A and B are shown apart, each in its own frame.
Chain A
Amino acid sequence: MSDLLLELFSEEIPAGMQARAGDDLQRLVTDALKNAGLDFKEARNFAGPRRLTLVVNGLPEKSPDISEERKGPRVGSPDKAIEGFLRGAGLSSIDQAEVVSDEKKGDFYVARIEKPGRATPDILSEVIADIIRQFPWPKSQRWGSGTLRWVRPLHSILCLFGGKLVGVEVDGIESGNETRGHRFMAPQTFTVNDFADYEKRLREAYVILDSKERQDLIFEGAQEAAKAAGLELVEDPALLAENAGLVEWPAVLSGTFDEAFLDVPPEVIITAIKKHQKCFSLRDGKSGQLANTFILVSNLIAEDGGKEIVSGNERVIRARLSDAKFFWDQDRKARLEERLPELEGVIFHEKLGTQAERVERLKKLARDVAPLVGADPDMSARAAALCKADLVSDMVVEFPDLQGLMGRYYALDQDEDAAVAAAIEAHYRPQGPNDAVPTEPVSVAVALADKLDTLVGFWAIDEKPTGSKDPYALRRAALGLIRIVLENRLRLPIRRIVRAELAFQISRKYALDALEPFGALHDLIDIENFDIDYWAKIFRDAFGQASSEFEEEFSQRFPLALEDLVGFFHDRLKVYLRDRGARHDLIDAVISDDADDLLMIVARVEALGRFLSTDDGTNLLAGIKRAQNILRIEEKKDGRTFHGLPDETLFEQDEERTLAAAVAEASGAASSAIGQEDFEAAMAVMAKLRGPVDAFFDHVTVNADDPALRENRLKLLNRIREATYSVADFSKIEG
């Protein structure tokens, strides 16, 4: 057993690519080793600014010998068959094959192929060179006169197995047992024997191999510096990881900036010094107020103790914050509504028009949605009108991450209602599965409008997510909408809203030259009572559009797009519920294609789940399934269905009569309970069926000899199936 040590030493690797590259290297090498029959104990990888390192412990010295038996043709087969067999098995003459006798098949040939194992270093030389040549960097380059591609120029390959050099040659780079230390503090090359030696020598040469350790050092250093200044670190794991990818030997320093900059919102300062300078911010632990001290991570133990480095960074940060303060002061000179004309120059999507058009739609949509979510319609429309204005502010142009947030600050500055200001920021939420959803009604209205408009728009132009491609983050938008609805327990008639908006957006391209009256048409849309034919008519009247393409869009593409989008919401809801542990079969059982109300779907899934966990539920499910199975078989046999009421006069047994009565009663009661959205009551009604169903199956023979009797009993079974449909499609439930 020996260990492999591999280091690929290059010019500076982008911080964001390092971790993935380390993992890819480990995966590719270990997969190749396994394919070659080489098992190992453990593999670890390390990634940093200038090197990817892989250690594989406990590899055998050679791969195992393989003995393979290949069956050939029968003795006396035609020459062609024999030749083919010899070629396939790598034999030169049939004498090299054995003859095996089989009672049934007679005598046939068998070739025994012995593949001796190969020395591990030979395998390593081959697989490592291949992996380097085809490494999956997200972006790679050539350099000098070579043809090899690497993330940045690759300088050396260190490859040792059991302490001995493994020869690897790629595009003129030959492996060795040497590496280098820190670029400035220990640039000399040195040789290493094994991983322990490598790690120790690197540390002596001011390189900390493990990025986790570098992160810890930065974090601890930053905490200490904060403490020394009587302050608290504004933690930022992503910034920590990025810094760890920029330095081989982190040295934490701190600097200050003019207190006057603290007039600028703290998020702006944090973003400015993070985005451009990759520095951490500090705040007062008690008041939470941002401090005028920052933490920087250098890659150097400077001879002057870091004086020059700190003063250089302070100077750059001063310039950055001057810019930010300038933007902050400038931006507040114009009211948000004054910026709206500028949105006409901001393309949202080539086929969906500008942000200005979008804002017009959002105003109307937010106003329509407002009463459904308990929000003030005027305030919702106002917030929607202003929600994109900050996109053209200097600050957001410079720091796109601050969109929404700056809008809120600027809205407060111009004395908008607090709910309006909050909505301007919150309407982008939730931005991911872990982001909180807006809860304030005006925020909810605008957030829903934003997501609905986006989804409807992309469905209108048929740019839907496919497979792993979702460039406009539409899945995230749909999931966001679902979470807003469910977490706020909202009753939102999604289908109705989507229907009207989709018709509007699909019409858009037929009215491009006449946007203003087209916008006015939007206001005519009544979500509650939207009539697609009426819409098509007024649209035709308004624009004299009667092109066959337009008619086709409305008669064919519109209904398909609508079903597809509603189906997309259902699919996303299923994913969401499944992630939260709901049974997928229960979701399938209650979602029908026309289901409109997400909250009710969830309530039904929950009620159904509770019911099925009871004894009554399990038994009833079994009974219903039995009824369904019998029906399926008999329907197939007879080539007909058994719809219609059973004939009471044909009932022979009490169990039939009892069941018929129970089903009739349950059917009515369940429908009315469902109508009142009382799913528990509906389930309780269903539970009453259990006894009669069980008794029926225990005592009644469905497939009676008398055809009339048989048909009547099958009709009774069909009644059970129909009665339960209003609660759930039990055929989709497993178990």
Chain B
Amino acid sequence: MANTEPAQLRPDRSFQDLILVLQQYWAAYGCVLLQPYDIEVGAGTFHPATTLRSLGPKPWNAAFVQPSRRPTDGRYGENPNRLQHYYQFQVILKPSPPDIQDLYLRSLYAIGIDPKNHDIRFVEDDWESPTLGAWGLGWEVWCDGMEVSQFTYFQQVGGYDCAPVSGELTYGLERLAMYCQGVDNVYNLNFNGREGENKVTYGDVFLQAEREYSRHNFEYADTGRLLQHFRDAEAECKALLEAGDRGETSHHECVLPAYDQCIKASHIFNLLDARGVISVTERQAYILRVRDLAKACCGAWLQTEAGEAR
């Protein structure tokens, strides 16, 4: 197995080294190494580099870290495993190469997980995102009984068939780092790999944020304003899609800004959900409203230069 791990990086001792090794590994494969998207999203899949780029015929290989926000998972910093803000490392390979499983396994090897001593398993886990109108088949990948990644072959996004099919790999970075470092509490992760007084832990970086955002998500966020923001984002998304529409035969001129509003609406919905102001029946209706936006954006994307066959 190819070992792309440079000598100075220690993914078993440092959270950032884990990220760096994965970045190096996938950069070496030829992926475009992107930076996180600058809007709150619930998962790396919402990054336009995944959602939109997985549509249309053009090849696309990218890797990036994406902070993911799950407002309802906030635990005020008191749960050792659950965070309302965490990092995913996302790899999108389109079309999915025939050796994608081996590529993935070699990336585990690169971060120090040797399949000669670790039990690595591909366990059925079909993926569906109701808000994106997307689904795929794949697995959760287990390492010694722990889920370390999600592995999905995209079949549809925004209601459109993915052809060619993208392979999406999502590494849960905190969990993977906890495994590599042998740590049971996420806040005890060594972030920078130093020891002694120079050591910075995950808790040093994020504990205060987890507490503050938990208060925000569950208590302080103004639901009236959020509801208004949701309506605004929804309206803006539709308006932009309409403004950029030049008819079936011409390129759409304003998809990416419209899609930004779609993911904003999605995040605001998640916040409203955490605030407990959305009833069971309304919930479905909100999800459908976001999905309609996502579908419209995906449809428009297929009429852009990056999304279409030309």
Contact = CB atoms under 8 A, between A and B. Distances in A.
Q: Do A and B bind each other?
A: yes
Interface of A: 11-12, 14-16, 49, 139-145, 151-153, 155, 184, 246-247, 277, 279, 296, 298-300, 302-304, 307-309, 311-313, 315-319, 345-347
Interface in B265-281: 279-281
B74 to A, nearest CB: 16
B121 A319 contact: no
B122 interface: yes
A272 to B, nearest CB: 12
B116 A303 contact: yes
A277 B97 CA distance: 30
B281 A347 contact: yes
Contact of B96 (A143, A277, A308): A143
Contacts of B144: 308-309, 311-313, 316
Contact of A312 (B115, B138, B145, B163): B145
A141 B96 CA distance: 12
A385 to B, nearest CB: 22
B222 interface: no
13 contacts: A144-B164, A144-B165, A145-B163, A152-B153, A184-B120, A246-B121, A277-B145, A279-B145, A296-B145, A299-B119, A302-B119, A303-B116, A316-B145
B55 to A, nearest CB: 14
Q: Could you say which of A139, A152, A319 has the most chain B C-beta atoms within 10 Å of its C-beta?
A: A152
B42 interface: no
Given A11-B101, A142-B155, A144-B97, A317 B122 contact: no
Contacts of A143: 95-96, 153, 165, 167
Contacts, number: 102
B117 interface: yes
Nearest to A301: B116
A312 B146 contact: yes
Given A153-B98, A153-B153, 17 more contacts: A12-B121, A12-B122, A12-B139, A142-B163, A143-B96, A143-B165, A144-B95, A144-B96, A144-B97, A153-B96, A184-B115, A298-B119, A300-B115, A308-B118, A309-B119, A312-B144, A317-B145
Contacts of B126: 139
B212 interface: no
Q: Could you say which of A140, A318, A319 has the most chain B C-beta atoms within 10 Å of its C-beta?
A: A319
A85 B76 CA distance: 86
Contacts of A155: 98
Contacts of B164: 144-145
B71 interface: no
A308 B165 contact: no
B279 A345 contact: yes
A560 to B, nearest CB: 30
A311 B118 CA distance: 10
Contacts of B145: 277, 279, 296, 312-313, 316-317
Given A16-B124, A308-B117, A309-B119, A145 B280 contact: no
Interface residues of B, number: 37
Closest 8 A/B residue pairs (Cβ): A312-B144, A14-B124, A12-B122, A313-B145, A298-B119, A145-B164, A141-B137, A144-B95
Nearest to B120: A184
A142 B117 contact: no
Contacts of A315: 146, 184
A172 to B, nearest CB: 10
Q: Could you say which of A153, A307, A311, A312 has the most chain B C-beta atoms within 10 Å of its C-beta?
A: A312
B184 A246 contact: no
A318 B184 contact: yes
A246 B280 CA distance: 36
B117 A319 contact: no
B124 A184 contact: no
Contacts of A142: 153, 155, 163, 165
Interface in B114-167: 115-124, 126, 136-139, 143-146, 153, 155, 163-165, 167
Nearest to B116: A303
A133 B148 CA distance: 33
A165 B143 CA distance: 38
B127 to A, nearest CB: 11
A475 B20 CA distance: 57
A12 B179 CA distance: 24
A145 B137 CA distance: 16
Q: Could you say which of B123, B145, B164 has the most chain A C-beta atoms within 10 Å of its C-beta?
A: B145
A184 B164 CA distance: 29
A12 to B, nearest CB: 4
Contacts of A347: 280-281
Contacts of A140: 137
Nearest to B152: A141
B300 to A, nearest CB: 24
B123 A246 contact: yes
Interface string B100-121: 0100000000000001111111
Contacts of A145: 95, 163-165
